[in-house]
Amino acid sequence: MTAHTTQTTSFIGGRHVPSLSTYANIDPATTRSLGEVSRAGADEVDRAVAAATAAQREWRRSSPEQRSTLLVRTAALIRGDREHLARLESEDTGKPLTQAYADVDVCARYFEFYGHTIESYYGHQIPLGEDMHVFTRREPYGVTGHIVAWNYPLQLVGRAAATSLATGNCAVAKPADETPRSTVRLAELIAEAGFPAGAFNVVTGLGAEAGDALASHPGVAHLGFVGSTATGSLIAHAAADRVIPTVLELGGKSANVVFADADIDAALPSLVRSIVQNAGQTCSAGSRLLVHADVHDAVVERMAAAMQAITVGRGLDDPGLGPLVSAKQQERVQGFLDELNGGQVVTGGVRPEGLTAELADGAFIAPTIVDAVTPEQRIFHEEVFGPVVAVSSFDSDEQALALANGTDYGLVSAVWTQSLSRAHRMAAGIEAGQVFVNTYGAGGGVELPFGGFKKSGYGREKSIEAFDEYTQTKTVVMKL
């Protein structure tokens, strides 16, 4: 959102489109308003889809070289606006400024990566016979719709927009209610880079209004969603009703599995970072810690000490941990802790001490470890989405694998061991879209396919595989 804009508005057809109705954008650290947001609805969604449809008639005929040029140019504009974008992201989400800078950098990287790879994506010939010329074409769907979560606004919408535009589609995005500003700013930068007006549109507003209208719009040919499994099921139903494809990145309950032979010194920073990054509000957060009984006490003790040393504060002050995204989310996380039936809170579990008066009403919760968690407990198998890790112990490889797979989710897992054989067995047996060994990446890099097994969703974002999600195959057979 630029300085002259009085409210965060939808961005449609290359123009800001304000709405008569607005709602307040709340700073989760202070509960004060950051400004008003346009509360768009079905009319604005209609306008956005129409703008994208018109732009796509031109854009689908663009060459990969043309797309590459504009994508790389957009990346440069994102980097040039790094300070502004990071501040918007930090204020809206509450995340520490260092993490917000990283999100801006990754967003730029998506545009660079897809700009550099799209020119080598096309071309596949099938040798059917000497008198037959057979080849395939990868063609865009048309208008793609994207409804994304509030935890990583720039990263989530950036990867969707870059992939959609790279493959010749045009797009309409609906950012989360709580975090609209960086997405609107990204739309401005995409327009500034020289994409056709309407190639990328943003509709701000509430999920039950603008989000529903986008998910059910007949002009949308492909849907992408990042968020809860419950809402993802509704999105999938909306897509099925119109027989269109969808990519769903949903919940997770990812496990760090630490064996007795693990290098604890090397593992500890990742174990902590995987649950406190973005205040644990990450679908691929390491929210379960499965530790061999022989090293359980040592790992928990050292992890508790590390988490107690983390600074807590307002995102713009760049602490180790910022607030949760909203008071509502804070209440949800606290609800998991208040209803514990079994399990022991080793550290945290309450609001952090020592907050300033300005932050007294902020949505904060201290980094938390709950030990001796069993598979029957809600905190073991349901997504908390906060800086809370549930610890369980195991005695054998078979028990470790059963615990790792003991939830409805399957997004990410990590295995910590010095045994190459064990690492391969666990990687093969774990039901997750990404498995890390002696490292942990919350979603991994831009180049790595990312998506879930089981109720963590389907389809793949990131990497060159994402091109397959945003294009459809046409086979051409010519008899010579």
Active site residues: 249
Q: How far apart are CA 107 and CA 322, in angstroms?
A: 21
Residues 349, 355, 357, 358, CA torsion sign: negative
Q: Which residues, including other chains, have CB under 8 Å from residue 243's CB and lie 6 or more apart?
A: none
Q: Name residue 86's amino acid.
A: A
* DSSP output for 309-370: T--B--GGG--SB---S-HHHHHHHHHHHHT-SS-EEEE--SPPSS--GGGTTS-----EEE
Query: Is the distance from CB of 182 to CB of 172 less than 8 angstroms?
Result: no
- Using a 10 angstrom Cβ sphere, with 0-12 exposed, 13-18 middle and 19 or more buried, the burial of residue 5 is middle
Q: In which element (H, E) is residue 25 found?
A: strand 22-26
Give me the helix-helix angle, 397-404 and 420-429, nearest 10°. 30
Q: Which residues contact 477 (CB under 8 A, 6 or more apart)?
A: 128, 132, 133, 134
In angstroms, the Cα distances linking 12 to 111, 155, 310, 349 are: 21, 21, 42, 44
Whole-angstrom distance, CA of residue 212 vs CA of residue 210: 6
Structure tokens at 389: 């890790």
Q: How far is CA 311 from the centre of its chain?
A: 25
Parallel, antiparallel or unpaired: strands 457-458 and 246-249: antiparallel
Q: Residue 233 burial by CB count (10 A; 0-12/13-18/19+): exposed, middle or buried?
A: middle
Query: Residue 399, class by beta-carbon neighbours within 10 Å (0-12 exposed, 13-18 middle, 19+ buried)?
Result: middle
- Give the count of alpha carbons within 13 A of 123, CB side only: 5
Dihedral over alpha carbons 137, 138, 139, 143 (to 10 degrees): 170
